[in-house]
Structure 1
Amino acid sequence: MYPIMFLVKASVTLLAVINCSGVHAYCENNASVKLSSYKYKYKSQVIDDASDIISMTVDHRISKATCDYTDSYGFRGNKVWVDNGCRAVFKICYTKDAGAYCQHKTSLRLSSNGYQYASQILDDAAIVTSMRVRHQISKATCDYGDSYGFRGSTMWVNNGCRAIFSVCFRKGTSVTVECSSRDYKPKVCKIPTNGGRVLSVVPEKHKSRSPCLPGDSYFHTDKVIRVTNGCRAVFRVGIKN
C-alpha cells in the first residue's frame, strides 16, 4: 500500500493542509509514533489497539538519513517499522477491527504464476480498505506486505502466492492522471473528480528514474496532484462519487 501525506512546504499555499491530518479522508483512528533506526538497524513496533494499519506518513524527520517509504520505513498488519538510519515521528492511520471500513465486500482469486508479480484493479472501487487470505491455493506462503497487498484500488500478489482473497472496499470510480516534474521543477495537475471526493492517489506507472514517494515528491488534495523532485508518473486516483 502507498499512503497520502498531509503537509506541504509553506511556499505552496495551494496544498497547505489535507483533511484528516493528511492520512486518509476516512481516517477515524490515528496515532503519532516516534521510531528510530539506531546504527542503521531494523526496528519495529506494534500499534496496540490496531487491527490493520491503513497508512503511515512522516510527520517530522529527526535523522540526517532519509526516510523513504518501503525502503527505510513501512508497515505490515498492525506493526510499523524503520530501517537504514531513519528516525522520525510518524502519523499512523489504522482500523480497530477488521471490518471497521468494510462497506462493501467481495472475493476474488489472484495468482503469482511463476513467482512473478501480478496485479488487478478492483472494478467499482475508489479504494481497497482490507485484503485477507480466504483460501490459499499455492504451496508458497501468502504473507501480507511480502507476497500480497493493495494500493488504492489495486491489489497485487508476488513470490508465488496464489489464493482466494476476501476484499473490503469503498465504492466509487478510479481514473488515471499523468503528472510530470520536468527538470525537477514542481508541477500541479488537475484531477477530474466531477464533484467527487478523492480517497486514494498512487503511482500506477513510473516514467522517471527519480522515485515518486508520497509526501516527498508527490502530494494531493481533492482537486490536484502536485509532483516535484523529478517525479514523473501515471497516477491511479480513487474517487468517491
Structure 2
Amino acid sequence: MPKPEHACVEEWASGDSNIQFEYPIASEVISVAVDNVGNQAVCLRDTSYGVRNTTVWVNAGCKGKVFICFHLSVARVARMVHDPAQTGILSNLPAMEIAPTEGNVSVVEQVTPAVDLMDVLTTPPPPTTPEPKCIDEWSSGYSRITFTLPHATSLTFLEVTNIEYDNTCTEGRDYGIIGSIVWVDLGCKAEFEICFSLS
C-alpha cells in the first residue's frame, strides 16, 4: 500500500503568547522544527513547543519560524470540500508544499485553496503501458500452420530468427499476420519471435 502524501507548511510564532497551529486535514504530524536564529529565547521540543494529535503548540517566549510536515488525510479533505459549513476552514489554510512521502522532498505542487489540494490527492496516476510479451514459435515447413494469440490486442513485432537449410521465408508470401494470428506457409522452416500487447 503506498504511503500517504505529506504537506509541509511554514508558520510564524511571535513569542508574545501561547499559540496553536491546527491542521484538520492532517492524519498525523510527522515533523516540527523551529528556526529561532537571531532570537535570544531557546526553543526546546516538548518544553517550548510540541505536538498534540494534529495540533502543533508553541509557548510564549519561543519566537521564530515553525516548519511543520504532516501526512494528509484524503477522507478529511473530501468531507470538508463537500461540506459547505467547513469551507471557511479550508479557505484559511496556508499554502502547502505537497510531496510524496517516499523519495525526494521536492515540491510537487504548491496548492491553495483546498479544491486544488483535493485534485492533487485524488487524481489517479497516469496509466502505464504494459510491456509487450514475446514468444518463440517453430514452423517445421511441412504444412501451413497458424499461431493464434487470443489475448493479444495487437502484434508489435514479428521476426524470423532462424531459417533452416536454404529456405527463403519472405514476409507476406511465406508468413504474415492477420489480426491476432501469425500464419506460416508450407516450405518455410524457421523459428519466429512474436511480440504482442495483452488485453
TM-score by length of 1: 0.27
Greater fraction of residues in strand: 1
Greater fraction of residues in helix: 2
Structure whose alpha-carbon radius of gyration is higher: 2
